[in-house]
């Protein structure tokens, strides 16, 4: 039996990456797929604040709740599991019910029935919140506002379109569509700009990942300051750990932060991670123990590839990476149309 706790600190293959020179990109072997009869049961059940998380490790189910992990679960019969002793839910029997597609619908533990949590995820894997106020109203206010003042001695901005450096990079800029957490477009076009050194670093990570059959898909990069203000003002207070405070500006505003995931170079499709992009739940933490072994391996592979090129993962978002030199660049409020064309090298 395993009984342990987890935190926001890095774990697994990325544990020591940020402490010195970046190591070679050398992850452990990729785990096999989660056994089919277990895959549909992986997820969160109950109430979000006290959820029971069911995940897979080495072909067995485990559970976690309130920071504690227990397992592997014994499997006396189909969809019935027993928690070994001692520890979390010790000796309990978990009986799952399923939806017609095989996805876990609920789990019964004694007399309690915990229903599966959607965690705000809509169709096509899009996370949604209900904006505090109408987004168009907030946008008008943000456009009439000014970014916070900053020291004058900062690098001159040199934003480049990352996809111009390597056409095999993929982009899926959700903020240019309604498929984002606010449900409305906030960008006029789907572009991915970064300061030149950060852009080249992303390209190097993308090329290194090709040895494993993966590449980088970018969801967001440079973000005008006024959009950061919209996000902050629209987001419920209890979810603001996942958005930047416009009073301080965002690393996205400096062109030194990028939101990304992996895609499979064989199929061209995005991989499945333990949580979805922009999800405002604990599943987004880089050390979240849930999901499947392969999903966690992919998440850690992405992190290792980015950290060896000078990025650091954000503590509550597995997809968000900040370039090490971000403090040297100013907060920008340029719309994409106003970004000057720059020579590429």
Give the chain's end-to-end CA distance (angstroms, integer).
54
pLDDT at 249: 94
Mean pLDDT of 213-234: 97
Cα–Cα separations (whole angstroms), residue 226 to 95, 138, 273, 331: 49, 10, 30, 11
Could you give the residue ranges of the DSSP H alpha helices within 235-314? 293-307
CA distance 303 to 240: 23
Reading the block at residue 215, the tokens are: 């590449």
* pLDDT, average across residues 265-274: 96
Res 101 pLDDT > 50: yes
For domain 121-338, which CATH number applies: 3.40.630.30, 3.30.1380.10, 2.30.40.10, 3.40.50.2300? 3.30.1380.10
Q: Are strands 170-171 and 159-161 parallel, antiparallel or unpaired?
A: unpaired
Contact status, residue 333 vs residue 226, Cβ threshold 8 Å: yes
- List strands edge to edge, sheet with 104-109: 74-77, 80-82, 93-98, 104-109, 112-115
Tell me, what's the pLDDT at 344? 66
Least confident of 1-10, 230-239, 279-288: 1-10
The length of the chain in residues reads 345
Q: What is the mean pLDDT of residues 183-191?
A: 95
The predicted pLDDT at position 121 comes to 82
Predicted TM-score (pTM) of this structure: 0.89
Stretch 92-110: mean pLDDT: 96
What ranges do the domains of the chain cover? 31-115, 121-338
Pairing mode of beta strands 170-171, 214-220: parallel
Looking at residue 132, the DSSP 8-state letter turns out to be: S
- The pLDDT tens digits of the residues spanning 126-159 come to 999 999 999 999 999 999 999 999 888 889 999 9
Examine the pLDDT at 33 and tell me if it is beyond 70.
yes
CATH class for domain 31-115? Answer: mainly beta
Using alpha carbons, list the distances in angstroms from residue 316 to 110, 211, 312: 33, 28, 12
Report percent pLDDT > 90 for the chain: 80
Closest CA to 279 of 130, 175, 125, 176: 125
Average pLDDT, the chain: 90
Report whether 257 contacts 322 (CB < 8 A).
yes
283: phi then psi, degrees, rounded to nearest 5: -65, -15
């Amino acid at each position: 039996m395993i009984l342990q706790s987890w935190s926001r600190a890095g774990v697994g293959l990325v544990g020591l990456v940020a402490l010195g020179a970046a190591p070679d990109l050398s992850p452990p072997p990729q785990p096999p797929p989660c056994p089919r009869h277990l895959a549909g049961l992986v997820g969160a059940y109950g109430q979000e604040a006290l959820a029971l998380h069911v995940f897979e490790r080495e072909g067995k189910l485990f559970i976690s709740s309130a920071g504690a992990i227990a397992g592997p679960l014994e499997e006396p019969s189909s969809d019935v599991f027993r928690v070994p002793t001692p520890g979390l839910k010790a000796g309990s029997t978990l009986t799952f019910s399923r939806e017609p597609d095989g996805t876990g619908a609920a789990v019964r533990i004694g007399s309690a029935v915990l229903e599966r949590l959607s965690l705000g995820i809509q169709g096509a894997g899009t996370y949604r919140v209900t904006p505090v106020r109408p987004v168009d109203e907030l946008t008008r206010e943000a456009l009439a506002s000014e970014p916070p003042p900053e020291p004058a001695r900062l690098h001159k901005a040199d934003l480049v379109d990352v996809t111009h450096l390597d056409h095999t990079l993929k982009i899926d800029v959700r903020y240019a569509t309604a498929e984002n957490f606010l449900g409305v477009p906030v960008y006029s076009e789907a572009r991915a700009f970064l300061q030149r050194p950060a852009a080249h670093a992303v390209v190097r990570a993308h090329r290194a990942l090709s040895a494993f059959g993966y590449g980088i898909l970018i969801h967001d990069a440079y973000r005008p300051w006024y959009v950061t203000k919209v996000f902050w003002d629209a987001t419920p207070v209890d979810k603001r750990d996942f958005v930047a405070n416009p009073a301080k500006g965002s690393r996205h505003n400096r062109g030194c932060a990028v939101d990304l995931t992996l895609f499979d170079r064989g199929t061209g499709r995005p991989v499945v991670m333990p949580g979805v992009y922009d999800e405002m739940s604990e599943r987004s933490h880089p050390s979240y123990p849930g999901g499947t072994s392969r999903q966690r391996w992919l998440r850690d592979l992405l992190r290792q590839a980015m950290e060896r090129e000078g990025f650091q993962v954000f503590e509550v978002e597995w997809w968000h990476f900040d370039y090490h030199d971000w403090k040297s660049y100013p907060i920008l409020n340029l719309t994409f149309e106003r970004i000057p064309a720059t020579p590429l090298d």
